[in-house]
Amino acid sequence: MNESTTKRGLCMHENYTRDEIVTLPYGQLEGIRLTEARAIAWLGVPYAMPPVGRLRWKAPREIKPWSHRLSARKYRNSSVQISLEGPVGSEDCLYLNVWRPDHAEDGLPVLVFLHGGGNVSGSGRDFQGGQLAPETNSIVVTVNYRLGAMGFFRHPALRTGDPLDDSGNYGLLDIIHALKWVQRNIAYFGGNPANVTLAGQSAGARNALAACLSPLSEGLVHKLFVMSGGFTTAKSELGESKANAILRTLLLQKGLANNPDEADEWIANRSAEEIAGLLHQQNAASFAEAIGDTGLRMSAFPHLFEDGTVIPIGGFANLGLHGQPCLPIVLGSTATEFSVFALGDPYFLNEWQNGRLERQAEEKSFYEAAVQYGSELYASFNVEEVADKWMEASPENPVFAYRFHWGLRDGVIDPSIRFRLGASHGADIPFYTGDFTGVLQNFPAGVVTERNEPGRRQLSDRMRSYLQRFLHTGDPNGEGLPHWKRWGADPLSSDILALDADEEQAVVRMDSKLLAQDILSRLKKDARLTADQRTWLQTRLFAGRFFWND
């Protein structure tokens, strides 16, 4: 992206006046000045009509104007989801958050971030923009969108004949609607609608890739920043099968059937209107409870349906075809991406809780192998596979890739946490936001310490500097930063930027990429694993995961 492209739209609106109060076409918003962070925030901004009542399982509808000054000083509802305390959130959840630096400069680049959580949990408040916006001199937007069966639900009884309403991709349509809101409104906050980077982590990263694959997003996004998310879509038939499975669960819970066979009989003998009526009568929490844990498995909760309107039939096989855009992109993963999922498996969780996981050498090496191979396969699925296909589809657009290693060096974090988690899924988020009271506060004590603060802060500064350059120019490289090579530029395959730090300073260098066939070859020969353990990894722990080809 050249300088002229970056500055397009500077003169579109000249009405940002460094004020907490902004006037949109819908009405006025009153935000909050974050003095310590040198930022202004507008939190809980509605971007679509609440998807409740007759708008449940419909494409998002345009927000209606309001007559009073709307307070945007606190977060609003997340989508309905299951927490440790039970169901939380609301169907009335279509809100976004905006942060900008506390100065009068206009025409700033825009970062729209999509949260992770398997498309069943999370919210826009998971990614804090209060420090990131002034540090990168950009506008940061985070989005709440419908999750679980409220966001991705495709049942034949709900069909209306409208291709958007019938798509089942309501959460993805929310995201695209939010991007349209950004195009129409971000200039009122001092942002440049001609320089929008769509970013996300985990499920949010997969949603970002899917949004850019959709023909509905044409012209809405100019760059991508994808953290731990690969190419995943689901066949519509799988979605319909899961919707019927959820319906069977609800029938059993409501006492309308005593067993699965009776539930199937009930479904077979009811009209579409009767089934739709029953589905609409249920509260959103009952659907969230029916889905449960998904664990990186599309079969557990199919979403991002190839409906032919929102997502093309064939999914990412369409990349670069039929006018589908390929944009400048950064792809990232963490070095022990799979550790939280391995530790969450009932077997390893039990071994950890009873103390055997770290005390017994055989169990320790088994877990280390599970984390190593699961992480390498997951990381290569998220980065190497996407990078190669992106380059093949559009070689003229730059691709940059990184792997986050912080937490694996001896002495940087608590040794027990290093063994169990290391550079785990999502651990790179606070290094970009600069907010170490956020995501990492959920990790055990011994991760964020005074001892590792110098190196940790320096690495965070480097990572935000790379991000700033990419937001402004489309190239993360800049003065004073270790050079980040484009994907495919090195014949020796040093295509990955390794991001790490010891206790005192950042350690950033180019590193070799992972090859899936090499990972599988090493897995077959690893002397740490017995034949039974190897089979268990392949048929149980990895089976059905996004990265595993059964």
Domain residue spans of the chain = 3-234, 235-305, 328-541
SS3 377: helix
Q: Is residue 12 over pLDDT 50?
A: no
Cα separation of 193 and 183, whole Å? 5
pLDDT of residue 10: 42
pLDDT > 70: what percent of the chain? 95
pLDDT of residue 3: 41
What band does 443 get if pLDDT is binned at 50, 70 and 90? low
DSSP letters of 436-453? TTSGGGGSPTTSS-STTH
181 within 8 A of 131, measured Cβ to Cβ:
no
pLDDT > 90: what percent of the chain? 85
Q: Is residue 296 over pLDDT 90?
A: no
Q: Is residue 8 over pLDDT 50?
A: no
pLDDT of residue 487: 95
SS3 82: strand
* pLDDT tens digits, 89-113: 999 999 999 999 999 999 999 999 9
Cα separation of 460 and 441, whole Å? 16
- The one-letter amino acid at 348: F
What band does 143 get if pLDDT is binned at 50, 70 and 90? very high
Question: Of the ranges 79-93, 96-110, 288-302, 331-345, which one carries the lowest mean pLDDT score?
Answer: 288-302
- Alpha-carbon distances, residue 8 vs 65, 110, 474 (angstroms): 28, 13, 15
280 within 8 A of 162, measured Cβ to Cβ:
no
pLDDT of residue 489: 78
Sign of the C-alpha dihedral computed for residues 146, 148, 154 and 158 taken in this order: negative
What band does 441 get if pLDDT is binned at 50, 70 and 90? low
- Alpha-carbon distances, residue 121 vs 140, 247, 277, 508, 510 (angstroms): 21, 21, 26, 33, 34
What band does 255 get if pLDDT is binned at 50, 70 and 90? very high
Cα separation of 161 and 154, whole Å? 13
144 within 8 A of 48, measured Cβ to Cβ:
no
Cα separation of 39 and 102, whole Å? 4
- Sequence-distant (6+) residues with CB within 8 A of 28 are 21, 22, 68, 69, 70
Average pLDDT over residues 222-229: 98
Cα separation of 153 and 243, whole Å? 6
| pTM score | 0.95
Mean pLDDT rounded to a whole number for the chain: 93
What band does 321 get if pLDDT is binned at 50, 70 and 90? confident
22 within 8 A of 81, measured Cβ to Cβ:
no
Measure CA 294 to chain center: 15
Q: What is the greatest pairwise CA distance in the chain?
A: 70
Instruction: Count CB atoms within 10 A of the CB of residue 422.
Output: 24
Q: What are phi and psi of 131, to 5 degrees?
A: -90, -35
Query: Which CATH number applies to 3-234?
Result: 3.40.50.1820
Work out the burial of residue 14: count CB atoms within 10 Å of its CB; fewer than 13 is exposed, 13-18 middle, 19 or more buried: exposed
Cα separation of 97 and 112, whole Å? 10
Measure CA 432 to chain center: 14
Sign of the C-alpha dihedral computed for residues 122, 123, 128 and 133 taken in this order: positive
Q: Is residue 440 over pLDDT 90?
A: no
- Alpha-carbon distances, residue 341 vs 266, 472, 515 (angstroms): 37, 35, 22
Q: What are phi and psi of 207, to 5 degrees?
A: -65, -40
Q: Is residue 355 over pLDDT 80?
A: yes
* pLDDT tens digits, 393-430: 988 899 999 999 999 999 999 999 999 999 999 999 99
493 within 8 A of 446, measured Cβ to Cβ:
no
pLDDT of residue 293: 72
The residue assigned the tokens 């959130």 is 89
Nearest to 355 by CA among 416, 422, 444, 414: 416
